[in-house]
């Protein structure tokens, strides 16, 4: 029985490839940073990736150009951080609301909970998922609870700014910011925290495919 290894793309590679294809001067540099970080520096996690986005994409139009890339990629984590860091950009958030029907339900709920866009949401309610509409119409108390959950999720995502080997203490990671929420995420090592570190994988991972003899030769079957 033969075993061969097939490379499987992971988010770090697919996201950076989509960004690199943008016709923006800073796109390639940002894509390279997502892949490998700065020369001689650690591999970045979501915290550093979000920080670099704000540094590299200062113009509102450039930020708006990135939205479709993130929607096509479909990863909820960069989409949530994109919405978070653009809360103070009304034009960007107006574009997000126009495309909000393309967001996963959880992110539609997060979006309508943002106080910064409360005045713009009613014009887009008809295109949103019913659950997102119901949340918005439920009033301040329900929206406040949603905001707390969203804030905790953002804290989890941004706790780790750079890749930390398993033997290292995340609290001493370069640029780590300790808050009550991030401390809890670090100490509990919950599945959500593990998911938030998925970009810590190499650009390609491999999975084994076992090749077993068939009636007419060999065929491959995933195990």
What residue ranges do the domains of the chain occupy?
9-201
pLDDT in tens, the chain (223 residues): 555 554 444 578 889 999 999 999 999 999 999 998 988 888 899 999 999 999 999 999 999 999 999 999 999 999 999 999 999 999 999 999 999 999 999 999 999 999 999 999 999 999 999 999 999 999 999 999 999 999 999 999 998 788 655 554 555 554 444 444 444 344 334 334 443 344 433 332 333 333 344 444 444 433 3
Res 171: pLDDT: 56
Res 178: pLDDT: 45
Res 40: pLDDT: 84
CA torsion through residues 83, 89, 92, 94, sign: positive
CA dihedral 97, 70, 135, 145 (to 10 degrees): -120
Q: How far apart are CA 97 and CA 99, in angstroms?
A: 5
Query: What is the distance of C-alpha 153 from the center of its chain?
Result: 11
Among the listed residues 191, 198, 172, the one whose alpha carbon sits nearest the alpha carbon of residue 49: 198
Side-chain half-sphere exposure of 22, counting CA atoms within 13 A: 25
CA torsion through residues 60, 97, 50, 207, sign: negative
Asked if residues 63 and 89 have their Cβ atoms less than 8 Å apart, the reply is yes
Res 127: pLDDT: 93
Asked if residues 148 and 113 have their Cβ atoms less than 8 Å apart, the reply is no
CA distances from 86 to 122, 157, 169, 209, 218 (A): 19, 16, 31, 43, 53
The crossing angle, in degrees rounded to 10, of helices 130-138 and 105-113 is 20
Q: How far apart are CA 182 and CA 151, in angstroms?
A: 11
């Amino acid at each position: 029985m033969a075993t061969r290894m097939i490379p499987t793309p992971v988010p770090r590679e697919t996201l950076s490839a989509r960004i690199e294809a943008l016709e923006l001067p800073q796109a390639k540099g940002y894509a390279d940073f997502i892949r490998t970080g700065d020369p001689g520096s650690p591999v970045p996690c979501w915290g550093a990736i979000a920080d670099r986005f704000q540094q590299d994409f200062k113009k509102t139009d450039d930020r708006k150009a990135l939205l479709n890339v993130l929607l096509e990629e479909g990863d909820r984590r960069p989409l949530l951080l994109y919405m978070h860091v653009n809360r103070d950009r009304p034009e960007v958030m107006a574009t997000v609301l126009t495309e909000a029907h393309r967001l996963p339900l959880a992110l539609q709920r997060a979006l309508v909970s943002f106080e910064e866009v409360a005045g713009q949401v009613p014009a887009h309610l008809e295109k949103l998922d019913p659950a997102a509409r119901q949340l918005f119409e439920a009033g301040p108390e329900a929206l406040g609870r949603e905001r707390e959950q969203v804030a905790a999720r953002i804290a989890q995502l941004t706790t780790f700014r750079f890749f930390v080997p398993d033997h290292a203490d995340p609290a001493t990671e370069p640029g780590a910011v300790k808050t009550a929420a991030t401390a809890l995420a670090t100490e509990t090592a919950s599945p959500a925290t593990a998911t938030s570190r998925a970009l810590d994988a190499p650009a390609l991972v491999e999975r084994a495919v076992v090749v077993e003899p068939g009636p007419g030769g060999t065929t491959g079957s995933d195990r």
